[in-house]
Amino acid sequence: MAVTVIRDADWIVAWNADTARHCYMRHGDVAFDDTGAILHVGGRYAGAAETEIDGASRLVLPGFIDLHSHPSTEPSYKGIREEHGVPAMYMSGLYERSLAFNLDPEGQQAGATVAFAELLQSGVTSLVDISGAWPGWLDTLAASGLRGWVAPWFGSARWTMTTGHRLEYAWSDDGGRASFDAARRVMDEADRHPCGRLTGLYGPGVIDACTEELLRETVSAAETEGRRLTTHISQSVVEFNEMVQRHGITPVQWAQQIGLLGPRTILGHAIFIDEHSWLHWSTRRDLDLIAQSGAAVAHCPTPFARYGQTLEDFGRYLRAGVTMGIGTDTLPHNFLEEMRWATVLARVAAEDIETLQVSDVFHAATVGGATALGRDDLGRLATGCRADIVLVDTSHPAMRPTRDPLRSLVFSSCERAVAEVFVDGRQVVADGRATGLDVAAALDSLDEAQARMEADVPNHDHAGRRALDIAPLSLDLRA
- Domain annotation covers residue 451: no
Q: Are residues 266 and 410 in the same domain?
A: no
- Domain annotation covers residue 440: no
- Domain annotation covers residue 197: yes
* Cα gap 400→447, rounded to integer Å: 36
- Domain annotation covers residue 263: yes
What string of DSSP letters covers 102-129?
A: ---HHHHHHHHHHHHHHHHHTTEEEEEE
Q: How many CB atoms lie within 10 A of CB 163?
A: 10
Q: Are residues 244 and 180 in the same domain?
A: yes
What residues make up the domain containing 423?
3-62+382-434
Whether this prediction's pTM lies above 0.95 is answered by yes
**Residues paired with residue 16 on neighbouring β-strands, in sequence order:** 21
What is the residue-level pLDDT of the chain in tens, covering all 479 positions? 899 999 999 999 999 999 999 999 999 999 999 999 999 999 999 999 999 999 999 999 999 999 999 999 999 999 999 999 999 999 999 999 999 999 999 999 999 999 999 999 999 999 999 999 999 999 999 999 999 999 999 999 999 999 999 999 999 999 999 999 999 999 999 999 999 999 999 999 999 999 999 999 999 999 999 999 999 999 999 999 999 999 999 999 999 999 999 999 999 999 999 999 999 999 999 999 999 999 999 999 999 999 999 999 999 999 999 999 999 999 999 999 999 999 999 999 999 999 999 999 999 999 999 999 999 999 999 999 999 999 999 999 999 999 999 999 999 999 999 999 999 999 999 999 999 999 999 999 999 999 999 999 999 999 999 999 999 999 999 98
Q: Are residues 48 and 127 in the same domain?
A: no
Q: Are residues 39 and 88 in the same domain?
A: no
Question: 178: which DSSP letter?
Answer: H
Task: Please list, residue by residue across 360-397, b when 16 or more beta carbons sit within 10 angstroms of its beta carbon and e when fewer do.
Answer: bbbbbbbbbbbbbbebeebbbbbeebbbbbbbbbbebe
Strand locations in 57-211 (E): 58-62, 64-69, 124-131, 147-154, 157-160, 168-171, 198-200, 203-204
- Domain annotation covers residue 111: yes
Provide the CB-side half-sphere exposure for 340 (13 A, CA): 15
Q: What's the farthest any 2 CA atoms get from each other in the chain?
A: 69
- Count up the domains in the chain and report the number: 2
Q: Are residues 252 and 311 in the same domain?
A: yes
Q: Are residues 77 and 120 in the same domain?
A: yes
Give the phi and the psi of residue 353 in degrees, each rounded to 5: -65, -20
Q: Are residues 320 and 184 in the same domain?
A: yes
Q: Are residues 24 and 123 in the same domain?
A: no
Ramachandran quadrant class, 49 (left: phi over 0; alpha: psi -120 to 50; beta: rest): beta
- Domain annotation covers residue 474: no
Q: Are residues 95 and 10 in the same domain?
A: no
Task: Give the alpha-carbon dihedral of 460, 461, 465, 466, to 10 degrees.
Answer: -50
Q: Are residues 311 and 418 in the same domain?
A: no
